[in-house]
Amino acid sequence: MRKILGIAAAAFLIAANGAQAQPREKIIIDSDIGDDIDDAFALGLALSSPEFEILGVSASFGDTVTRVRMFDRMLGELGRSDIPVAMGTPAAVNLNAFTQRRYAEGGTMAPRPHPNAVDFVLEQARKYPGQVTLVAVGPLPNVGAMIDKDLGAFRLLKQVVIMGGSIRTMNDPLMPLDSTANLKFHEVARTALFAHGSMLTNILAGLYYEWSAATRASTPILYDPMTLASLLQPSLCPLTPLHITLDDAGNTKETPGAPNAEVCLHSDADAFAQFYVRRVTGP
Ligand SMILES: [Ca+2]
């Protein structure tokens, strides 16, 4: 169930109307990095985008211990150990294979503290009220825990951009109309990216081959980077205002009412792939 769904907090709607010039967008990426390959590609896009000030990243869902190791190694190898790495509560349940475990466990980075993910995000929201965009590209136990812990602080976020949910699914939440399922990263784009030869593209290439060996797949689908790309270039994934509610089974439903979310219903795969390669290989 993969789909981009941007949920705007009330504070975001007010801030958007104000449209004040901001030099850089403060973001935090909450991610299940290490399972599918697209989280690493999302981090790569964020690190390649001067429009973003990355306040931190946080590991969510399942084996968060190994996820923070992967974050530490990637950020360390890229000279960005200044970016805090927060850790969500580890859970024994992880339905997905950790396909990039060898890389994650192979780092030799010096140990550093990992703040609690929930506390870290809420602290940043309080510190920069109305300025922080939370980008959630994995399952949402961290986000749920933030809401449970301090809804008032959570509402201080500027917006929450989520890769998740399903809309107009014909009563089958496991087979959604997926606005990002077409984002296949084909060989031409991969070759252009991996031939670039920077530290970042070399890391992404290595992760890709590890993921490919583990999954026996060759064409990744870059769901997660679209969350960031949609912030950088909104035309790649135009947003439709909808009123969204959750039913008791956790399904997102389009219901009558004033819009409370902006939802990407369609995306342009070729334009996205070109944008991604251009951005990550750019100056
Ligand atoms: Ca993910």
The rounded Å distance from CA 144 to ligand 1 centre is 16
The rounded Å distance from CA 211 to ligand 1 centre is 13
Closest CA to 5 of 269, 242, 256: 242
Interhelix angle 225-232/269-281, rounded to 10 degrees, is 80
Q: Is beta strand 132-136 parallel, antiparallel or unpaired with respect to 244-246?
A: unpaired
Coil/strand/helix, residue 117: helix
For residues 156-188, b (16+ Cβ closer than 10 Å) or e, as one string? Answer: bbbbbbbbbbbbebeeebeebebbbeebebeee
Token pair listed for 33: 């990095």
The pLDDT of residue 94 is 64
Inter-residue contact 21 to 85 (CB < 8 Å): no
The rounded Å distance from CA 18 to ligand 1 centre is 31
The rounded Å distance from CA 104 to ligand 1 centre is 15
The rounded Å distance from CA 136 to ligand 1 centre is 8
The rounded Å distance from CA 137 to ligand 1 centre is 5
- Structural domains of the chain ordered from first start: 4-281 (3.90.245.10)
The rounded Å distance from CA 181 to ligand 1 centre is 13
Q: pLDDT tens string for the chain (283 positions)?
A: 344 444 433 333 333 334 445 579 999 999 999 999 999 999 999 999 999 999 999 999 999 999 999 999 999 999 999 999 999 999 887 667 899 999 999 988 888 999 999 999 999 999 999 999 999 999 999 999 999 999 999 999 999 999 887 777 655 554 444 677 778 999 999 999 999 999 999 999 999 999 999 999 999 999 999 999 999 999 999 999 999 888 887 778 889 999 999 998 888 899 999 999 999 999 7
The rounded Å distance from CA 20 to ligand 1 centre is 31
State the Cα–Cα distance between residues 175 and 192, nearest whole angstrom.
32
The rounded Å distance from CA 110 to ligand 1 centre is 26
pTM (predicted TM-score): 0.90
Q: Strand runs (DSSP E) across 73-211, as ranges?
A: 85-87, 132-136, 159-163
Which amino acid would we find at residue 60?
S
The rounded Å distance from CA 2 to ligand 1 centre is 9
The pLDDT of residue 136 is 96
The rounded Å distance from CA 135 to ligand 1 centre is 11
Q: Tokens 């901001």 appear where? A: 22
**Burial (CB count <10 Å: 0-12, 13-18, 19+), residue 142:** buried
The rounded Å distance from CA 265 to ligand 1 centre is 19
The rounded Å distance from CA 46 to ligand 1 centre is 14
The rounded Å distance from CA 127 to ligand 1 centre is 27
The rounded Å distance from CA 11 to ligand 1 centre is 26
